[in-house]
Amino acid sequence: MHTVGFGARKTGGRWAHSPRAGTAALTATVPGGICVGKTILYGILVATIAIPGMVTVGPVFLAYKDFIPVAVLTLFSYFKAILKELDEAAAMDGYSLLDTMFRIIFPVTMPGCAVTFLLLFIAAGTTFCSPPRQPSRRMPDF
């Protein structure tokens, strides 16, 4: 047996994990002499480069479109609770609009963004780990 994985190779009765073992796994040849690992790795690399990032946004949006209202409501209610007096106090202290945003408003909004991220992360994980929903099967009305 020539190689066992992308990072392990049996050398002298012991398993070695090293870059050489990974290289050996990539250059494993079949009886025809074709370099299988490099060809597969190169094909995967070209496929990921050939697909533009905007193409992947659509399926991701469709997969998680049910979570967008939760995020909007959570963030809206949190942003609504930020006191307007913070802006006024920053203006009285001589802060510009950008200073107010970066030094006062953004640090105040970080907990709300973290909570929204955690809620969406938990919801996405639950959706990913749960079985797909079956459509309800009602008896036909006669």
- Which residue, chain included where needed, has tokens 């094909």? 43
For 134, the token pair is: 């079956």
pLDDT in the model for residue 68 = 82
Q: Of residues 29 and 117, which shows the higher confidence score? A: 117
Q: What is the pLDDT of residue 4?
A: 41
Kindly indicate the confidence band of residue 23, based on its pLDDT and cuts at 50, 70 and 90.
low
C-alpha to C-alpha distances, 14 to 8, 23, 27, 74, nearest whole angstrom: 10, 17, 20, 55
In this model, does residue 138 exceed pLDDT 90? no
pLDDT tens, position by position, 26-79: 555 555 555 666 777 788 878 777 777 667 667 767 777 778 888 888 899 999
The residue length of the chain stands at 142
Global confidence as pTM: 0.50
Residue with the bigger pLDDT between 142 and 65: it is: 65
Lowest-pLDDT range of 53-57, 84-88, 103-107: 53-57
Coil vs helix vs strand at 1: coil
How does residue 102 score in pLDDT terms, banded at 50, 70 and 90?
Answer: very high
How is the chain split into domains, by residue range? 8-50, 53-129
Instruction: Report the pLDDT value the prediction gives residue 131, as an integer from 0 to 100.
Output: 65
What is residue 129's three-state secondary structure? helix
Are the C-beta atoms of 8 and 15 separated by less than 8 Å? Answer: yes
